[in-house]
Structure 1
């Protein structure tokens, strides 16, 4: 079933560990487990209707000059046109999965069979939406299945071929041998919460939303024949009174506590002879039998998906149920070669995981020797073991200058996506790496000698904030401030009457809920102020996270507003009263209990220590205001503290464009030249005027001089 959902990575086998609920529903791919099973010569429930000989041609993906690890692409021609399949190696293998068998003496044996990890691939056909491909290359060729809408194909190497030839056969279900999945005359009693009108109503929760659901499923594979032969009836041996069932419920179930156990048999039972009870998972009656006779890997995996779906509590599909680009769906009343669950099944699952019957799937109890389904690998964007960096997929690594697709730094790089990393090297001192997140938080800056941000520090617990609150672990406990963060300006803390809602134990009013249960635990009268936050004076409804709702409740004193929390989607719970909020004289809330003592709150740093020029932080050191230097804010400086890294040194800089500067210089140069020319002209003209006046005055004086008389002699 590793191929049973397009574009989703699924494990090949039921692992010795934790598996996501979605993967369990798609059934963890039995190709690796069922490949060696020998089918009996009984009439099969499927047949081939056409077979072609194809020659797959390998295409290489290139990334930064090297072949991208884990990816394969082949082009092959069938159905009259060329198709390209893209596949990546499956990453969720668990080589040491648990298998329990019995020898010919009936002795129970546990084994961890070897399954190769590097030759199983899943993928899709290019330009065909929701197509799925699952292939293994463990034996030198391509062997597996392809699903294109309602068409199913099996591909396998052609024996003794020297040209890499393969046979590609189209498979169809044999309607004459595939009867109903239930006993004749069976009528299913419907859950009143899951009426056809409700379950097929649109819109419905998308299958993608279950990808990262917190619920998990465990399982045990069993393959045993000798014990069945003593009973000679598989169906009878699985009844609660049988010796085999008693052995399973008293020996296997208490030891491993599997959510669902699968029993493989090469002889019995026939399909439909034994259908698990609804909601039998997490119960000693969770055995799921399946016969491998007359079936190939594909049909066994599909039928097992159906059986485990019934064990979880999925009802048969109604006539108007639909699935993605498929005519029939897995929970159809008649078996077919389909690989998709319907919208009805997703609706059933939504109700199952939100009701108490699914509580065991949320229990954090370790399974199978404390080993979890967490694989450390290159490409998951998590730096693990000897990895220097992890840039993710090959496409993301191609555009990353600091990290390559082998999870190593590129040449001359010393960091990648760290908080104090810029252009593949350490950020400059004073670079902001953790901004202020609330009025009680303090900023942190890079030191220039490390790729990581300094430890998070915040204002000391007990520092006043808001009108009726104080800082506690970096957040302000003022309830009105909290209401404004959710419902906007004007929202206020509701009267105490509204907090009586927290004593009703429902989604909008409760104190606690354990991670493995869906039941709400009501608040006691003493703790009711420590449950869900209740606000009033709300005039604005902000956009909320997906699956988070709000309530509006009328009380005698006010109109109350609050939020609920949808578990399992990774949503942040903004609707819970914060730790540190006052709940009684001298008491504050701590983990939904009103038992914290204000008098015991450590407040050892006082403003006098910082000379009233800073605040005390969570390390009992001074965080100085801008203009003063740590540690005691006595001398001038740039602010900050010894714990938060050096703040930036503020210099005023004016950016300029050199082109503009050239034009400015040219304009001013010409202006200077013009001024100089004008001044020179003026100076020259003044000299000429002065010279002319001197000459004129000289002439006038000469003309005005009196003439002496001439003497005439006789």
Structure 2
């Protein structure tokens, strides 16, 4: 007979396995945590004064602490602009709508760090909540540091983090190893080579603006949105540290929380199909609202039995710049590494092979089995380098989710002419020198204007006064109309009008290839041989192309066709020395051979990051074939420009302007130049007669000559004064210290 306590316990004990079996699919289907701490130690960080050249650096900190058996100094540099000033956090509301909030999230407390005297060490720390928190990487060891709760002496705990070993097959990343699907064919354009004239000559940081989406399962697991947002900030900061050496800044664009339900179903048995659905939803819902570089889904469950997945080389693509990572059972440090690894695939990085190396690490970021790696290998740098050298708006835009405009109440003195003001000369001091505009923002008595190209002595310039003279043989003169202080809009001869034997007018300029070569390299320089254009521009590389075709994901270099090779990159000849093109430019010298004759081809490349023109390309308007000229890298004819204004329409007494109106020669009246008149066009303003034009030139010249004459007169007077000063000084000295001559003895009288 059993004891009473045994009889009472047996029924519950028998039911326990049954309850565990029923509950385990719901509670534990995702498995236990995939990480653990193997050791911990208590440290007390001591702040070290951080100075550089005797100057205190406000964005840098240094802490000294003892761990791993010796004292280490952590040097910390503040990460700036990691997240926008007002970060939008969007959540699902109970009414199936979106609610937008701007919670306070400190952005000036995240640091990039390293250990003094420990090569290859790397740390991502923050001081957002008091004390030091973050990840420390020393060789292959990953540590977590955080403040010790309830400590009154600034104690911190540093713990060694390890990832639980599982089967390599379940951990292995298979992105890029599967058979390429037909839908990826368009994405091959994303791997375009470096741009010709858009080539970057040195590393320029680019902003990868990330939109983070957090799934319902992840939020429901932690049941704390503040903690979830903190995870997102930590993850982004660690990824930013990993990609810092490549020239990419990883920025938080905004955060979307699926806190009631997942907008895109995660219950799917194909990872690629999920990315397709997720990308379509992002494109239709958010791409047109807030532009971003990539969308990252942080999920709380496996998707199609995968921890992470992305499309190879698809960043900046409207529909495929998406990835997911199932991060619930992983430490936030491991989740960061997995996202960084998957992001690497978006940058078209391949998995590291056995010969790939990174400094003081056994495995690098793109190892086929992601772990806690934090360093990019020598094999992965070329892929990132290609992206750094590419032009794409999704990598160059500032990380500002929404444009904001300050409201400024209109007032007199702001130098903006408002509705009730005649003029606005600014402050009292500025208005003191303006005789046309008073401090009450009204014209002074008798004044009609105070500024403008057609305003002279507070009055409108007489009709026919030249307000914008010609800038070249393809430009036209504009005249004041006597009714306004403004000069008419700039006009020029219609594009396509011949202006020289080798060029036509284009946007007011007349330039052929030889003129362009001389402008770049000096006199006596000639246009390059036709073989330079034919052999180089039809290759389609940095040294010869027909420009770039802009597209999301990076521009694609365009090689010239047989019809357009004379309209691509400019090639010159006759250079005897290497010129200096200035900052962000590069000089090139190539040679080609045709029929046993060697031709030397010289040219320039300009860095597109500056505001330099595309000086390395043939200008529009240069002749490329008989009766044809270059226009937007194509050898075209007048028909393609809608050249519909013939000089016969102007009776051979004028030319057509860019508005397709006749600009008549002096002595003929617009619009048809048939009757006698003053000349000009309906767009240029009425030109004055010969005497008026002469008065205009005299007026302009006198404004230039009078200051010059006054300056010369002042210099002349100063030179006279400077020469007279020594003579005056000598005369004054002699007068004050006059020397009395000795008295001569009297002459003896003659005997």
Q: Give the TM-score taking structure 2 as reference length.
A: 0.53
Say if 1:630 and 1:306 are closer, same or farther in 2 by CA, change over 3 A. farther
Check the 8 A contact 1:314/1:331 in 2, yes or no. Answer: yes
Shift of 1:575: 0.8
State yes or no: 1:212 paired with 2:201: no
Select 2:84's aligned residue among 88, 93, 110: 93
Instruction: Give me the whole-angstrom Cα distance separating, in 2, the residues matched to 1:330 and 1:322.
Output: 10
Instruction: Give me the whole-angstrom Cα distance separating, in 1, the residues matched to 2:150 and 2:580.
Output: 64
Say if 1:552 and 1:467 are closer, same or farther in 2 by CA, change over 3 A. same
Partner of 1:542: 579
Shift of 1:333: 3.5
Partner of 1:348: 383
Check the 8 A contact 1:460/1:620 in 2, yes or no. Answer: no
Q: Which runs of 5+ in 1 are unaligned?
A: 1-37, 192-204, 378-382, 388-424, 430-443, 445-455, 609-617, 623-628, 701-714
Check the 8 A contact 1:493/1:536 in 2, yes or no. Answer: yes
Check the 8 A contact 1:460/1:472 in 2, yes or no. Answer: no
State yes or no: 1:362 paired with 2:392: yes
Say if 1:161 and 1:329 are closer, same or farther in 2 by CA, change over 3 A. same
The SS at the match of 2:333 is helix
Shift of 1:262: 3.1
Partner of 1:20: none
Partner of 1:460: 471
Partner of 2:698: 633
Instruction: Give me the whole-angstrom Cα distance separating, in 2, the residues matched to 1:634 and 1:287.
Output: 66
Instruction: Give me the whole-angstrom Cα distance separating, in 2, the residues matched to 1:300 and 1:650.
Output: 73
State yes or no: 1:575 paired with 2:616: yes
Select 2:134's aligned residue among 140, 144, 155: 144
Check the 8 A contact 1:86/1:125 in 2, yes or no. Answer: yes
Select 2:150's aligned residue among 144, 148, 160: 160
Say if 1:605 and 1:621 are closer, same or farther in 2 by CA, change over 3 A. farther
Q: Deviations over 1:196-236 (max 9, x none)?
A: xxxxxxxxx999815138xx666562414499x99xx9796
Partner of 1:600: 656
RMSD: 6.3
Partner of 1:51: 41
State yes or no: 1:248 paired with 2:278: yes
Instruction: Give me the whole-angstrom Cα distance separating, in 2, the residues matched to 1:52 and 1:497.
Output: 74
The SS at the match of 1:307 is helix
Select 2:570's aligned residue among 530, 533, 552: 533
State yes or no: 1:311 paired with 2:346: yes
Check the 8 A contact 2:200/2:607 in 1, yes or no. Answer: no
Select 2:269's aligned residue among 237, 246, 264: 237
Partner of 1:483: 517
Instruction: Give me the whole-angstrom Cα distance separating, in 2, the residues matched to 1:639 and 1:47.
Output: 81
The SS at the match of 2:697 is coil
The SS at the match of 1:553 is strand
Partner of 2:248: none
Shift of 1:460: 1.7
Say if 1:218 and 1:568 are closer, same or farther in 2 by CA, change over 3 A. farther
Q: Which runs of 5+ in 2 are unaligned?
A: 1-27, 181-198, 221-257, 409-429, 435-452, 454-466, 476-498, 648-654, 668-682, 688-693
State yes or no: 1:292 paired with 2:280: no
Check the 8 A contact 1:141/1:156 in 2, yes or no. Answer: yes
Say if 1:44 and 1:78 are closer, same or farther in 2 by CA, change over 3 A. farther
Instruction: Give me the whole-angstrom Cα distance separating, in 2, the residues matched to 1:512 and 1:185.
Output: 37
State yes or no: 1:278 paired with 2:315: no
Aligned positions, number: 530
Q: Give the TM-score taking structure 1 as reference length.
A: 0.55
Partner of 1:448: none
Instruction: Give me the whole-angstrom Cα distance separating, in 2, the residues matched to 1:584 and 1:127.
Output: 65
Say if 1:664 and 1:526 are closer, same or farther in 2 by CA, change over 3 A. same
Shift of 1:513: 2.4
State yes or no: 1:171 paired with 2:160: yes
Check the 8 A contact 1:48/1:170 in 2, yes or no. Answer: yes
For residues 412-491 of structure 1, the aligned pairs below 5 Å read 460-462=471-473, 477-487=511-521, 490-491=524-525
Shift of 1:306: 0.2
Shift of 1:681: 4.9
Q: Deviations over 1:79-108 (max 9, x none)?
A: 4255453435545337555768799xxx98
For residues 66-77 of structure 1, the aligned pairs below 5 Å read 71=59, 73=61, 75-77=63-65
Check the 8 A contact 2:357/2:364 in 1, yes or no. Answer: yes
Instruction: Give me the whole-angstrom Cα distance separating, in 2, the residues matched to 1:39 and 1:263.
Output: 20
Select 2:66's aligned residue among 59, 69, 78: 78
The SS at the match of 1:290 is strand
Check the 8 A contact 2:314/2:347 in 1, yes or no. Answer: yes
Instruction: Give me the whole-angstrom Cα distance separating, in 1, the residues matched to 2:138 and 2:715.
Output: 62
Check the 8 A contact 2:518/2:526 in 1, yes or no. Answer: yes
For residues 683-702 of structure 1, the aligned pairs below 5 Å read 692=747, 695-696=748-749, 699-700=750-751
Check the 8 A contact 1:512/1:520 in 2, yes or no. Answer: yes
Check the 8 A contact 1:84/1:125 in 2, yes or no. Answer: yes
Instruction: Give me the whole-angstrom Cα distance separating, in 1, the residues matched to 2:618 and 2:703.
Output: 37
Check the 8 A contact 1:630/1:640 in 2, yes or no. Answer: no
Check the 8 A contact 1:130/1:324 in 2, yes or no. Answer: yes
Shift of 1:493: 1.5
The SS at the match of 2:39 is strand
Check the 8 A contact 2:41/2:157 in 1, yes or no. Answer: yes
Instruction: Give me the whole-angstrom Cα distance separating, in 1, the residues matched to 2:301 and 2:152.
Output: 38
Say if 1:137 and 1:667 are closer, same or farther in 2 by CA, change over 3 A. same
Instruction: Give me the whole-angstrom Cα distance separating, in 2, the residues matched to 1:469 and 1:650.
Output: 44
Instruction: Give me the whole-angstrom Cα distance separating, in 2, the residues matched to 1:294 and 1:261.
Output: 21
